[in-house]
């Protein structure tokens, strides 16, 4: 084990940045890359694009995190040498760790693997595009699927979904189905719009912020400045998390000397519910606020629907049930309700601890209920904030990368461009994996990401992808999907990262700003821009039949022109290439209590509390990120914040270790109804609530079932039941 740090961020982050910069060709080169005017490659907090990189949406500088440096360093690597593909067989590459694969270098030439061969082999671009277009031409469109990660630009996302639909399928989806989909669905049901209801500026005026089911110290470090500011102004931060996460207790903001030296206390109250206990807990806080008569009756009756039902429900639900199902005491709930009752401007933010459950949408609705109770939506300085994952996952969704295209977009495309689009419902991400397993799909196209690595039930996902006749990846670097998620014929096309494209592209931040990334010189010869690849493929497959000029659509400016005509809220994108003027999408920030729901009111929801799973020898498992990874890409084996030197561990409360008669540092097999992992090291970790255990994603995906939230289709990555067997 390594020593657990006492504070997040700080010298460790700075030292790491300097080391990484040196390895990538020097500090100056890294500095220039980070300061270039391109949206940051990691999370979706957004940069003040107008003023270059490392500036936040309020102009604060320098704003940078370890992850953005890692992502940049990965893109600044040299090319994978041509003899790599003959040196390493698929069997050998399968033994590579995610770290090894990422560090093989940049993909610069298309490669092909066919069933029966031992290696990938290099092929020419023309050959690759011919093979893909021939397969597409000979496949029934309904037998294809198109998966998008959230790293690509709005232009590439829009163009590829358009191609897929004109080709004839709505099997178009993105990583959001494994991420914040429950937030989008829950928010839309509550306020009529699926994204943050506020701006970063509002967070800066809050006197209370709830941080629910997330670890921003590690995953959204730039948000920590705002949380530290809340405390500095005398406000409060309440954290709800089954794990006491170091960086949420104390964080050293690297750009502030006093914080760097002494650290800044973040949580004023740290509450540890059981995994899956949030719905009960949020309901409990709501019940107590109403008992204390601290709710805003005027707001509830004038601007919300469903108050009577919620009021009765809160009255009826017994306290015993709330305490038992949340795992939180009456005293703690009382303290939170008091703080909430006394605060003037309250922001609720959340991430995967809320969405990765079979009741993810209900969790989000319960957060919205709580905000509405005291009129914390529909006015400045307060509101709801789902902290987004990938840097452009929100934009990808906005411009149409969803199975069912919004009616408004569909109608405009058909009327303005005379295209015929399918009206079938289309499959979401998990449905595609299941359909492939059942032999109903034969061709897949993945724009970035790691579909294999991000899936629950990893064995099933591997089998699904293996049943495809052709699988195409557009990628920058190698990952586990490229070697485990193989179709009968697999082609990897190397693409440019956004800061090396010759043309500018756009991205959308989680506060609903659309910004231009300048692009820049390509670092290596070989990779093509995503837009160029997509338009060449479309030209080959449907060039003759579709009324669109795919050659013209190689220009990102022409794609933006099209987006501006068909995507509501994106009108201003048509001139952004010339003006470079960022804009905020209208109708998403609610500073007045008017909501785009059918009645114009915000909607309250009533929920039955789910049973708390587990008990006896069954433990509730959360699968989470370490400090040293970005999703399926593992940069470092250590999890510095949780004091772990390796990833093949299960973190358990000492009381569970004793109760289950295992020993710390003992090797065990961890089993679930879906799969098992052998040789896992038991680690004693008192920061985690008893009855709950923690393992690292993506390795733990063999244990996760395909149970998903019926409303959002998001898998319950945080709700699995596991048990241990001695080895
Ligand atoms: N460094 C880094 N940054 C990232 C990423 C990365 O991999 N690495 N990934 C990006 C992406 S795509 C995303 S979606 C975000 C993810 O950001 P997070 O959601 O912060 O990431 P997770 O590691 O999934 O962490 C979930 C947190 O929820 C807690 N938790 C687990 N189960 C529950 C529960 O039932 N209730 C509550 N209240 N809490 C629970 C865990 O203890 C943990 O602190 O980060 C983005 N930023
Ligand atoms: N058990 C468990 N499973 C989970 C989660 C969990 O918490 N627990 N989290 C879920 C979440 S929140 C998410 S978002 C998904 C992640 O799902 P994905 O988004 O599918 O996966 P990533 O690991 O982010 O994909 C990384 C790859 O993207 C490629 N890439 C990077 N930059 C670019 C680019 O500019 N263009 C292109 N074309 N490719 C690029 C690189 O090849 C890199 O290897 O995983 C989900 N799965
Ligand atoms: Mo995510």
- Tell me phi and psi for residue 345, to 5 degrees: -125, 110
pLDDT of residue 6: 76
The Å distance, Cα 183 to ligand 1 centre, comes to 14
The Å distance, Cα 261 to ligand 1 centre, comes to 27
The Å distance, Cα 352 to ligand 2 centre, comes to 14
- Residue 57: pLDDT band with limits 50, 70, 90: low
pLDDT of residue 50: 54
Residues within 6 Å of ligand 2 by CB: 149, 151-152, 175, 178-179, 352, 356, 389-390, 447-451, 453-454, 474-477, 479, 495, 497-498, 530, 623-624, 631-633, 697-698, 700-701, 704, 717
pLDDT of residue 47: 67
Question: 3-state DSSP call for residue 448?
Answer: coil
CB atoms inside a 10 Å sphere around CB 61: 15
Average pLDDT of the segment spanning 634-663 = 94
Average pLDDT of the segment spanning 520-544 = 94
pLDDT of residue 99: 86
Instruction: Please tell me the distance from the alpha carbon of residue 544 to that of residue 552, in angstroms, as a whole number.
Output: 14
pLDDT of residue 555: 96
pLDDT at 27 over 70: no
Structure tokens at 23: 């390895």
pLDDT at 140 over 90: yes
CA angle 571, 574, 575 (to 5 degrees): 120
Instruction: Please tell me the distance from the alpha carbon of residue 273 to that of residue 413, in angstroms, as a whole number.
Output: 47
pLDDT of residue 635: 85
pLDDT at 253 over 70: yes
pLDDT of residue 254: 75
CATH 2.40.40.20 range(s) for the chain read 619-726
Instruction: Please tell me the distance from the alpha carbon of residue 558 to that of residue 531, in angstroms, as a whole number.
Output: 11
Q: Which CATH class is domain 185-387?
A: alpha beta
Among protein residues, the one with the nearest Cα to ligand 1's atom 38 is 213
Closest to 36 in 3D by CA, of 481, 371, 521, 461: 521
CATH 3.40.50.740 range(s) for the chain read 88-179+410-579
Structure tokens at 469: 């006749």
Q: What is the pLDDT of residues 427-473, one digit of tens each?
A: 999 999 999 999 999 999 999 999 999 999 999 999 999 999 999 99
Residues within 6 Å of ligand 1 by CB: 42-43, 67, 179, 212-215, 218-220, 240-243, 245, 273, 275-276, 278, 351-353, 389-390, 622, 624-625, 629-631, 718
CB atoms inside a 10 Å sphere around CB 18: 11
Q: What is the pLDDT of residues 267-287, one digit of tens each?
A: 999 999 999 999 999 999 999
Structure tokens at 502: 């010759």
- For residue 410, CA distances in Å to 37, 97, 404, 406, 567 come to 33, 43, 9, 6, 9
pLDDT at 12 over 80: no
Q: Tokens 């941080």 correspond to what residue?
A: 211
CA 704 to chain centre: 18
Q: What is the pLDDT of residues 709-719, one digit of tens each?
A: 999 999 999 98
SS (H, E, C) 51-80: HCCCCCCCCCCCCCCHHHHHHHHHHCCCEC
Point out the ligand 1 atom lying closest to the alpha carbon of residue 66: 1
Q: Which residue has the higher pLDDT, 688 or 57?
A: 688
Q: What is the pLDDT of residues 327-350, one digit of tens each?
A: 999 999 999 999 999 999 999 999
- Residue 19: pLDDT band with limits 50, 70, 90: confident
pLDDT of residue 9: 73
Ranking 31-45, 340-354, 466-480 by mean pLDDT, the lowest is: 31-45
pLDDT of residue 255: 73
pLDDT at 52 over 60: no
Residues 6 or more apart in contact with residue 453 via CB below 8 angstroms: 98, 479, 480, 481, 484, 485, 631, 632, 698, 701
Q: What is the pLDDT of residues 71-121, one digit of tens each?
A: 778 888 899 999 999 999 999 999 998 889 999 999 999 999 999 999 999
Average pLDDT of the segment spanning 173-191 = 97
The secondary structure of 650-688 as a DSSP string is: EEE-HHHHHHTT--TT-EEEEE-SS-EEEEEEEEE-TTB
Architecture of domain 88-179+410-579: 3-Layer(aba) Sandwich (3.40)
Please report, rounded to a whole number, the percentage of residues in the chain having pLDDT higher than 70. Answer: 94
Q: Which CATH class is domain 619-726?
A: mainly beta
Closest to 715 in 3D by CA, of 402, 431, 463: 431
Ranking 149-153, 313-317, 484-488 by mean pLDDT, the lowest is: 149-153
* Mean pLDDT of the chain, nearest integer: 93
Instruction: Please tell me the distance from the alpha carbon of residue 142 to that of residue 76, in angstroms, as a whole number.
Output: 38
Q: What is the pLDDT of residues 384-394, one digit of tens each?
A: 999 998 889 89
Question: What residues are paired with 43 via a beta bridge?
Answer: 390
Closest to 52 in 3D by CA, of 67, 33, 65, 71: 33
pLDDT at 37 over 90: no
Instruction: Please tell me the distance from the alpha carbon of residue 726 to that of residue 678, in angstroms, as a whole number.
Output: 10
Residues 6 or more apart in contact with residue 242 via CB below 8 angstroms: 272, 273, 274, 275, 277, 353, 622, 688, 689, 692
Ranking 92-106, 131-145, 309-323, 336-350 by mean pLDDT, the lowest is: 92-106
The Å distance, Cα 330 to ligand 2 centre, comes to 39
- Residue 628: pLDDT band with limits 50, 70, 90: confident
Instruction: Please tell me the distance from the alpha carbon of residue 314 to that of residue 257, in angstroms, as a whole number.
Output: 47
The secondary structure of 91-157 as a DSSP string is: HHHTTS-HHHHHTT-B--S-EEEETT-SS-EE--HHHHHHHHHHHHHTS-GGGEEEEE-SSS-HHHH
Please report, rounded to a whole number, the percentage of residues in the chain having pLDDT higher than 90. Answer: 81
pLDDT of residue 663: 97
- For residue 77, CA distances in Å to 93, 108, 213, 475 come to 19, 11, 34, 14
pLDDT at 48 over 70: no
Q: Which residue has the higher pLDDT, 380 or 500?
A: 380
Strands 692-696 and 619-624: parallel
Ranking 525-529, 545-549, 610-614 by mean pLDDT, the lowest is: 545-549
CATH 3.40.228.10 range(s) for the chain read 185-387
Average pLDDT of the segment spanning 292-305 = 98
């Amino acid at each position: 084990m390594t020593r657990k740090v006492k504070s997040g961020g700080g010298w460790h982050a700075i030292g790491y940045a300097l080391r990484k910069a040196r390895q990538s060709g020097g500090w100056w080169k890294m500095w220039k890359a980070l300061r270039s005017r391109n949206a940051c490659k990691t999370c979706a907090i957004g940069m003040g694009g107008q003023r270059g990189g490392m500036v936040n949406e309020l102009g604060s500088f320098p704003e940078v995190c370890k992850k953005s440096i890692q992502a940049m360093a990965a893109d600044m690597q040299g090319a994978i040498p041509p003899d790599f593909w003959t040196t390493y067989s698929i069997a050998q590459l399968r033994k590579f760790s995610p770290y090894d694969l990422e560090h093989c270098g940049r993909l610069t030439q298309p490669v092909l693997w066919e069933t029966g061969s031992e290696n990938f082999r290099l092929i020419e671009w023309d050959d690759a595009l011919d093979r893909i277009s021939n397969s597409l031409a000979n496949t029934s469109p309904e037998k294809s699927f198109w998966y998008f990660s959230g790293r690509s630009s709005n232009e590439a996302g829009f163009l590829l979904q358009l191609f897929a639909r004109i080709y004839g399928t709505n099997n178009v989806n993105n990583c959001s189905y494994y991420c914040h989909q429950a937030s989008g669905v829950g928010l839309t049901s509550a306020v009529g719009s699926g994204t943050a209801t506020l701006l970063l500026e509002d967070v800066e005026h809050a006197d209370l912020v709830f941080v629910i089911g997330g670890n921003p110290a590690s995953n959204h470090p730039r948000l920590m400045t705002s949380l530290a500011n809340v405390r500095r102004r005398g406000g409060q931060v309440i954290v709800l998390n089954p794990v006491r996460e170091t960086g949420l207790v104390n964080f050293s903001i690297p750009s502030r000397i006093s914080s760097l030296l002494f650290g800044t206390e973040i949580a004023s109250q740290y509450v540890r519910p059981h995994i899956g206990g949030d719905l009960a807990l949020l309901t409990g806080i709501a019940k107590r606020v109403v008992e204390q008569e601290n709710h805003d009756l005027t707001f509830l009756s004038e601007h919300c629907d469903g108050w009577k039902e919620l009021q009765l429900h809160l009255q009826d639900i017994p306290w015993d049930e709330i305490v038992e199902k949340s795992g939180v005491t009456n005293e703690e709930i009382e303290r939170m309700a008091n703080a909430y009752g006394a605060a003037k401007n309250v922001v609720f933010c959340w991430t995967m601890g809320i969405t990765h459950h079979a009741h993810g949408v209900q969790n989000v609705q319960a957060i919205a209920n709580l905000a509405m109770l005291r009129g914390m939506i529909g006015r400045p300085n307060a509101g709801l904030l789902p902290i987004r994952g990938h840097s452009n996952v929100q934009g990808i969704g906005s411009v149409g990368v969803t199975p069912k295209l919004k009616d408004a977009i569909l109608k405009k495309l058909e009327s303005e461009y005379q295209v015929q689009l399918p009206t079938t419902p289309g499959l979401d991400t998990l449905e595609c994996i299941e359909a492939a397993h059942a032999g109903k799909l034969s061709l897949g196209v993945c724009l970035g990401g790691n579909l294999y690595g991000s899936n629950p039930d990893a064995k099933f996902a591997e089998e699904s992808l293996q049943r495809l006749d052709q699988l195409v990846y557009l990628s920058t670097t190698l990952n586990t999907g490229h070697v485990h998620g193989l179709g009968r014929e697999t082609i990897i096309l190397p693409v440019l990262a956004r800061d090396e494209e010759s043309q500018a592209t756009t991205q959308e931040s989680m506060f609903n700003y659309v910004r231009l990334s300048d692009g820049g010189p390509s670092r290596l010869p070989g990779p093509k821009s995503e837009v160029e690849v997509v338009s060449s493929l479309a030209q080959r497959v449907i060039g003759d039949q579709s009324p669109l000029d795919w050659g013209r659509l190689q220009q990102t400016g022409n794609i933006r022109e099209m987006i501006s005509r068909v995507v509501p809220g994106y009108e201003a994108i048509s001139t952004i290439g010339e003006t470079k003027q960022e804009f905020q999408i209208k109708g998403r920030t609610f500073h007045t209590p008017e909501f785009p729901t059918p009645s114009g009111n915000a909607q309250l929801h009533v929920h039955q509390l789910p049973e708390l799973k587990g008990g006896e020898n069954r433990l509730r498992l959360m699968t989470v990120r370490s400090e040293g990874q970005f999703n399926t890409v593992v940069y470092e084996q250590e999890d510095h914040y949780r004091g772990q030197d390796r990833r093949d561990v299960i973190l358990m409360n000492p009381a569970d270790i004793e109760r289950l008669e295992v020993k710390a540092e003992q090797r065990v097999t961890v089993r679930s109804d879906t799969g098992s992992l052998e040789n896992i090291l038991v680690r004693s970790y008192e920061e985690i609530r008893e009855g709950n255990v923690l393992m690292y994603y993506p390795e733990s995906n063999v244990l996760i079932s395909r149970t998903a939230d019926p409303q959002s289709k998001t898998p319950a990555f945080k709700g699995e039941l596991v048990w241990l067997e001695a080895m």
